[in-house]
């Protein structure tokens, strides 16, 4: 068998989104699984809508996801090749210049049409099986506006041939395009690639996910604090699933497992809640040092390593973690608050708060340093708090340790601060009272 070559062929007419990248991910995984080549072809022949900023966004998104590219092509650079082959087909009487009635004043009066042999086309699709199509209904379809302006069907066939593409992996909305392209392949005498048409991606209301409806740009997810491992993993599961129940996969594991025979036919539903779950799971898999390094980009400051395990457990995105760091976890460098805050706005008297803090300090004094874990501290302090009134006991303790209305629970705070700092902060609170 020839070496597998797949391609991803986005148009630079908008930012690359989670729906648009799925075909590229599948093509990439299939190529890498088979030790093949993965190319990216920018289909930029729509001069009015194609923009450099969108092309840059495509490559930025692919790089962020860790999708390495073996070769890059740009359709707009192939004009001479298209013209060469169009003139060859004209000479062979397989296409012809057709006079058209202009639809608008000063409209086009000539186009180039394919001379349809009106035959049955049959091809095997790796997802949908054998497909048969009567091309008679296509009539003599247009393949170019002029010798220098080929349409999609012709340009795609020429590019796939010239670039050695062996497998075309794309959305099922392209199934209807395949018969036209096979007819053009036969007219040019070029080999037919193998096809795999992927199921549609739909939103929660079952409508097709698209640039205009529901599909969020990859770079937007990056800004929201999602990690590339999660986007790659989740998008891989939109229409494909490996054997077994495991869901969290690294890129290397996906490459090992990916085969086209496990691509489903039915539409794949895009679920933001599920994507968020994937993101949280991948965040939790990061080492503490890697997590802190990535979070630093959002927090714009170094992250105390003592906070990382807690942030990993509770924050589902890096942006959420950065906000928690600002709103709830900014207490390690020292705190400042009014004594009244310890009294919960007058709900607790100074005498009651002082008595409880003194008792808690005595209890904590007798706990060994190795016992300063959230679970052990809760086991020891919870009975006293339950007996005396949890609000009156735990509110002053939490404020004494954090100085904030919102913060982790007091048992976690004690564990993070350590025994010495915990006792020092309780002593400072007692002085305020």
Predicted pLDDT at 77? 95
Question: Side by side, which strands form the sheet with 149-150?
Answer: 95-99, 110-114, 142-146, 149-150
Predicted pLDDT at 223? 97
Q: Nearest 5°: CA angle at 85, between 83 and 87?
A: 70
The total number of residues shown for the chain amounts to 433
Predicted pLDDT at 211? 67
Band (pLDDT 50/70/90 cuts) for residue 109 is confident
Band (pLDDT 50/70/90 cuts) for residue 46 is confident
Given CATH 1.10.10.350, say whether it is the number of domain 339-432.
yes
Instruction: Give residue-wise pLDDT tens across range 191-238.
Output: 999 999 999 999 888 888 876 666 899 999 999 999 999 999 999 999
Predicted pLDDT at 213? 65
Predicted pLDDT at 27? 98
Residue (of 180, 194, 92) closest to 143 by Cα position: 180
Instruction: Give residue-wise pLDDT tens across range 269-326.
Output: 999 999 999 999 999 999 999 999 999 999 999 999 999 999 999 999 999 999 999 8
- Assess whether pLDDT exceeds 80 at residue 177: yes
Average pLDDT for 20-49: 95
Predicted pLDDT at 212? 66
Average pLDDT for 133-140: 97
Cβ-contact 85, 153 below 8 angstroms: no
DSSP string, 119-172: -EEEEEETTTEEEEEEGGGG-S-EEEEETTEE-HHHHHHHHHHHTT--EEEEEG
Give percent of the chain above pLDDT 70: 99
Average pLDDT for 86-98: 98
Q: Name, in order, each residue with C-beta under 8 angstroms of 375's C-beta and a sequence gap of 6 or more.
A: 411
CA distance 336 to 400: 10
CA distance 106 to 260: 49
DSSP state of 49: T
- Assess whether pLDDT exceeds 90 at residue 334: no
Predicted pLDDT at 102? 82
What's the token pair of residue 107?
Answer: 């409209």
Secondary structure (3-state) at 214: strand
Q: Name, in order, each residue with C-beta under 8 angstroms of 292's C-beta and a sequence gap of 6 or more.
A: 302, 303, 305, 308
| Stretch among 149-163, 202-216, 259-273 having the lowest mean pLDDT | 202-216
Residue 170 sits at φ, ψ, to 5 deg, of -155, 175
What is the domain partition of the chain in residue ranges? 339-432
Predicted pLDDT at 131? 98
Q: Residue with structure tokens 């779950």?
A: 277
| pTM of full prediction above 0.85 | yes
Q: Is 211 marked as binding a ligand?
A: yes
């Amino acid at each position: 068998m020839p070496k597998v070559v797949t391609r991803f062929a986005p148009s630079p007419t908008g930012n690359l989104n989670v729906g648009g990248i799925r075909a590229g991910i599948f093509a990439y995984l299939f190529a890498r699984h088979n030790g093949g080549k993965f190319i990216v072809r920018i289909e930029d022949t729509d001069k009015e809508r194609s923009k450099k900023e969108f092309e840059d966004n495509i490559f930025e998104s692919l790089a962020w996801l860790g999708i390495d590219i073996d070769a890059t092509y740009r359709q707009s650079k192939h004009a001479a090749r298209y013209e060469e082959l169009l003139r060859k087909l004209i000479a062979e009487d397989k296409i012809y210049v057709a006079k058209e009635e202009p639809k608008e004043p000063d409209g086009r009066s000539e186009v180039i049409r394919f001379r349809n042999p009106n035959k049955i086309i049959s091809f095997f699709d790796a997802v949908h099986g054998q497909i048969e199509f009567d091309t008679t209904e296509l009539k003599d379809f247009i393949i170019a506006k002029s010798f220098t302006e080929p349409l999609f069907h012709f340009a795609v066939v020429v590019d796939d041939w010239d670039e050695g593409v062996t497998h075309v992996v794309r959305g099922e909305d392209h199934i209807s395009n395949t018969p036209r392209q096979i007819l053009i392949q036969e007219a040019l005498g070029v080999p037919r690639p193998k096809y795999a048409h992927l199921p549609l991606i739909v939103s929660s209301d079952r409508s097709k996910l698209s640039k205009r409806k529901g599909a969020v740009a990859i770079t937007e997810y990056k800004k929201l604090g999602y990690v590339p491992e999660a986007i790659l993993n989740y998008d891989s599961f939109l229409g494909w699933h490996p054997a077994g129940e495991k869901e969290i996969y690294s890129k290397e594991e996906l490459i090992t497992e990916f085969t086209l025979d496990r691509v489903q036919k039915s539409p794949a539903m895009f679920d933001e809640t599920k994507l968020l779950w994937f993101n949280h799971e991948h965040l939790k898999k990061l080492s503490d040092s890697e997590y802190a390094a990535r979070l630093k980009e959002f927090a714009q400051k170094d992250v105390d390593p003592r906070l990382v395990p807690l942030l990993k457990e509770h924050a589902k995105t890096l942006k959420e973690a950065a906000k928690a760091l600002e709103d709830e976890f900014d207490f390690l460098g020292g705190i400042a608050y009014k004594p009244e805050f310890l009294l919960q706005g007058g709900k607790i008297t100074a005498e009651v708060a002082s008595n409880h803090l003194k008792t808690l300090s005595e209890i904590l004094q007798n706990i060994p340093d190795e016992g300063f874990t959230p679970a052990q501290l809760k086991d020891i302090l919870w009975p006293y708090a339950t007996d005396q009134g949890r609000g009156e006991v735990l509110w002053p303790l939490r404020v004494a340790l954090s100085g904030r209305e919102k913060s982790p629970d007091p048992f976690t705070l004690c564990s993070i601060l350590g025994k010495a700092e915990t006792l020092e902060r309780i002593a400072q609170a007692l002085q305020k009272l």
